[in-house]
Amino acid sequence: MSKVVRRKSRGLLLLASVVAMTMGLNVAQAKNIKKQNLLELMSHSDSIVVGTVASTTDGTQNGLPYTEVTILVAQSIKGDHESTYTFRQFGLKAPKSTGDGRVNLMVTPAGWPTYIDGEQVMLFLHKPASETGFQTTAGLTQGKFSIRGKQIANGIDNAELFARMKVEGPLSPTHEDLVNQAGGAYAVEDFISLIRTAVEKNWIEKGVMINAH
């Protein structure tokens, strides 16, 4: 077996093990993340923030590749955040020289969110991993919502975001319109208002937002 093939094989094995360690998922689950609805995204989130990507850098931590993302926080909807919030997600921004003639190819895995300086986002973030401190969004690309003008959508265009769930109780007309929308981009102010209301009024804890069977 060539050195290149051996290096690639070792890299893939390390990637699989780190994914499992940082996300609490086995390899099969990591490769086949199901579509999550809003209730699931919110239940799996330790933090929900709205803001602008101020900077992205990458490097290694104890031999593990990461991308560090700093958010200028405009709204802290869930969790206690200051004006900036910084987290590290597994994977490099791009292949990176190790300085000894080799190249680290372990970039952000396919299906995971990536970040661009200056973009506006709403993030549903997992609790940082206990072993590494690494953090990413609930549902991976599904938990990163990009804000473009007056519209907001996640990495799968909000597909099934309100599927398999329902909200018990009266909704404002704008919130009811959102819940009944099958998918596609939503009006950003209405969507953020819905999430803020659900968090502040404890809809999940009080059984207002529930799974539909």
Distance CA 71, CA 127 (A): 16
pLDDT per position as a tens digit, 114-156: 999 999 999 999 999 999 999 999 999 999 999 999 999 999 9
212 to 43, 70, 167, 175: CA distances (angstroms): 15, 36, 9, 18
Could you report the per-residue pLDDT of 169-191, keeping only the tens digit for each? 889 999 999 999 888 999 999 99
Per-residue model confidence as pLDDT tens digits over 37-46: 999 999 999 9
Q: Are strands 151-154 and 144-148 parallel, antiparallel or unpaired?
A: antiparallel
At residue 23, does pLDDT exceed 50? no
Q: Is the pLDDT of residue 160 over 70?
A: yes
Average the pLDDT over 91-101 and give the result: 87
22 — pLDDT class (breaks 50, 70, 90)? very low
Q: Is the pLDDT of residue 12 over 60?
A: no
